[in-house]
Structure 1
């Protein structure tokens, strides 16, 4: 999947009443786009970073870093995230280095309307996750 084509198709797309804003933010060595930043209108503080392989589209939303967690609650946070992850449609919670994230993946064969729907859903899930986990943060 060419991310340049996806960026063009999604930019300004309206899904479930939300407008998508797409910005290419990283190029690989041959000048092709390797990462997109997607902002769902109304969720500006929770951009989604999108990349793709030959088989899947991976979407990652940064939630918070480990330094923002109350140290005495870190283990309880991990357990809570494991329990919450089952209840979050189309998304999972994870940890990349010291960054807690919400992520989702879909096939590169997914139709544009479904890609847009999953991006909106991920934005909603990210906000819901932050609200559910706010007691663990400083």
Structure 2
């Protein structure tokens, strides 16, 4: 059983005092959105195969970063990434992401608690990162003068 199959088996589930809900977001059934009730605006996405599961969240687009702070943002992301529990930071094309990969050994059938913990960890880390780097982003008032 891979991660997609595991999350497809429940709509809502409680894990360590947090309610998680999951649903497919594409027609192929290869991408699941996981919501942690405590963080309704931070959906975590899951893509999975028989070898690994990848949890990820799109933090922000590169064009949302204030160009005056781009170098500082990248430097801080690199320095901070080692301290984020169970997660890493990267880029997919022009989008900054926080992500975590689990190997086959940590798949739901082998270690369901570790698997659910990863979904919660990505959501928690995402909230912290969004708050930490909010001042580096362009706001609507920055673009309207």
The Cα of 1:56 is off from its aligned counterpart by 0.7
The structure with the largest alpha-carbon Rg is 2
TM-score (norm. length: structure 2): 0.85
1:109 Cα offset (Å): 3.1
Matched positions, count: 134
Q: Where do 5+ consecutive residues of structure 2 fail to align?
A: 139-145
* Structure 1 equivalent of residue 35 of structure 2: 39
Higher strand share: 1
1:116 is matched with: 116
Separation in 1 of the partners of 2:41 and 2:4? 23
C-alpha contact (below 8 Å) 2:2/2:49 kept by paired residues: no
Closer, same or farther in 2 for the Cα pair 1:136/1:81, shift >3 Å?
A: same
Secondary structure at the counterpart of residue 121 of structure 1: helix
The residue aligned with 2:143 is: none
Q: Please list every run of 5 or more consecutive structure 1 residues that lacks an aligned counterpart in the other structure.
A: none
CA RMSD of aligned residues (A): 1.5
